[in-house]
Structure 1
């Protein structure tokens, strides 16, 4: 059970250079920046190791596996040591794992490095979202969407450093070392703000379960995260191919499809806190599902480039809220403590991102890429049906 004490022993400093909200925002940007730096140098690292597309795909699966394996352990650590402390320690591990990607001397060791990188990325994802949920609860209004917008912004900035590194002819090793140190120096000072996570009181002799499946409404929230994760993963891996095959465009133009999707998602997340505070979580999720479903149907129905670009942008707008809303709901669950709850929901979301592109590929091979994208429409409609599970849980009087 949670101790009903406040989140911090002293009054929370909501204004100033170091505040809880700025601290969490900095951690989200740091996490996104490291991931963006890695993503921007994938071609260079693949060339270093002479990796075929198949081998690269297998190695990337090891990164996803590392993330999924780390979730339950991190949830337990957050429960024991607090979200803020775990986030700041894992940030240091994450920077070391980033450097390890460039130092791996062989494809086999690169796979191990990717597993470690994925584990650090996933661990920080769980801990920083648990911290974000605590800050949101203390703030008393929706702010989770803005944190995820900071992740998207950090990811874009991290990718931009890759563009700069390529033009300066910097190796991934130099890029990751310099970039990692600079990002840590910029972000970590914001993280040193007074913050105490709620204590978890347990009966003497009670054991901590390493992995606990969510139950009831939270399990359905996890399915919503899976639907959104599958859609985001499919857009990243298959959006350009969809444009090439359906709109008969070239690869350069097709790359703009994911740009439309990503920009729309960032814009919507920046506006998300205001929209969610006005509509509430349930209506915001229903609107999101409707936007995602309409966007995918628009892209499927018309072969013209403008229509597909609009459809992809609508999908970005639609998926933008779902993961932040799912994490926010998990952080406020009344049956599980925030760390394990967020870890469980994250597992669903990452599972969707991992297996979704595979499902789209199988459907595209069996039918066509257009028919495959109908899966996204169906799952977006499922988000609408499951939206009531995002309603805040009714607090028991016997807490």
Structure 2
């Protein structure tokens, strides 16, 4: 092995360890406001429908960020883009804690969504390069670190709701995470070896529609369907337990905590599971079984919560656990498939699939809120359940990408 190859392997190992920290921080920052959602919603005085519209801020921000990420990575390299993005996302989180009206919250959500999509696409691109250099799967375990961060921030955030205001909570997370982001980003793959320029066979500019990009649309819609469930679990889980089932502070955060813990388990096991089952089969099983159990659990638990609150709490959390186990491997599977799409630069392919999929993560909760506004949240949660089952059906698209 040449000296250059040895140096590349060394940098890839450093980047591998740094990516674990980066994905952990990404989970902490993006989900940092989840335990405080009911308080922020009440502070600003938003109905379910109005809150759903405000959540569109993060949708528009994420679409913009993901759309720009591919071209920026291909032009400048992923590490340079990350150094810009890590300032944007914490600023959005701090703004959410400081917001006193719907417009301020919308703009803060836009900022966070933009920063999130920008650096998330870069992290995923770096992950595919690290896998290629070290010739081993890591993508699922990287996303497990995201889930770990989401779980920690949800549990701790729920535990301190009685003692710390949302403003202090979110601003503190933003400041600490910014410092940690900058340190971790320093050890990621530099532009000289991240392969961002691709080669002669890879296209950097691709059309929005057409035969050449149809595989990306199939992958993107499949990813979107899975992320609708993830977004709904994060943004509406606590409100479901509080408003529909009558649980108080600290307890209503258990829904997303259960969901995130299940995702941690499935993603730490995901690299081996992807090899054992194959990406398409694993996504199919997760969509069908995870979605079905989630829906049945809510169907049983919500009506019985008035008379049997403890059994109902256990049952509804079993549903969120099933959803987390099912969704866990999906993002890694779809992103890896995108990176293998023939004839398209990996950074651009990942961003195209990401801009479709991440829109589901942020737009899905808005649709759930609209349904809840005209019916109730119990019915609104049927939407993410059905979308998760749809993701299982669309697992066939992964075969086109050969993840």
Select which of 229, 234, 237 maps to 1:236. Answer: 234
Query: What is the TM-score of this pair, normalised by structure 2?
Result: 0.78
Task: Report the equivalent of 1:123.
Answer: 118
Alignment of 1:333 onto 2:341:
yes
Structure 1, residues 222-267: CA drift from partner, whole Å, max 9, x if none? 1111111122223334445666798x55456554333322221222
Select which of 259, 262, 272 maps to 1:261. Answer: 259
Tell me the SS of whatever aligns to 1:183: helix
Report 1:32-51 matches (<5 A).
32-40=27-35, 51=44
Query: What is the TM-score of this pair, normalised by structure 1?
Result: 0.79
Structure 1, residues 159-201: CA drift from partner, whole Å, max 9, x if none? 56656876775783x6556544433444433433354221235
The RMSD of aligned alpha carbons is: 3.8
Task: Report the equivalent of 1:82.
Answer: 77
Report 1:289-304 matches (<5 A).
289-299=287-297, 302-303=300-301
- Deviation, 1:77, is 0.2
- Deviation, 1:21, is 0.8
Select which of 139, 163, 176 maps to 2:134. Answer: 139
Distance 1:348 1:30 in 2: 23
Structure 1, residues 327-362: CA drift from partner, whole Å, max 9, x if none? 121222223222222222222223323443344455
Task: Report the equivalent of 1:343.
Answer: 351
Structure 1, residues 68-108: CA drift from partner, whole Å, max 9, x if none? 12211111101111223322331133334444555668754
1:312–1:89 distance in 2 versus 1, CA, 3 Å: same
Shifted more, 189-198 versus 21-30: the winner is: 189-198
Task: Report the equivalent of 2:185.
Answer: 191
Distance 2:337 2:17 in 1: 21
Distance 1:236 1:283 in 2: 26
1:244–1:44 distance in 2 versus 1, CA, 3 Å: closer
Distance 1:301 1:176 in 2: 34
Report 1:248-287 matches (<5 A).
250-251=247-248, 255-287=253-285
- Deviation, 1:270, is 1.7
Do 2:147 and 2:261's aligned partners in 1 also have CA atoms closer than 8 Å?
no
Task: Report the equivalent of 1:59.
Answer: 54
Distance 1:376 1:23 in 2: 33
Select which of 314, 324, 346 maps to 2:322. Answer: 314
1:102–1:197 distance in 2 versus 1, CA, 3 Å: same
Do 1:165 and 1:171's aligned partners in 2 also have CA atoms closer than 8 Å?
no
Alignment of 1:386 onto 2:384:
no
Task: Report the equivalent of 2:25.
Answer: 30
Alignment of 1:150 onto 2:148:
no
Structure 1, residues 85-142: CA drift from partner, whole Å, max 9, x if none? 3223311333344445556687545543432222112211211111122222323232
Do 1:76 and 1:210's aligned partners in 2 also have CA atoms closer than 8 Å?
no
Task: Report the equivalent of 1:13.
Answer: 10
Q: How many residues were matched structurally? A: 381
1:362–1:335 distance in 2 versus 1, CA, 3 Å: same
Unaligned runs of 5+ in 2: 305-311
Tell me the SS of whatever aligns to 2:9: coil
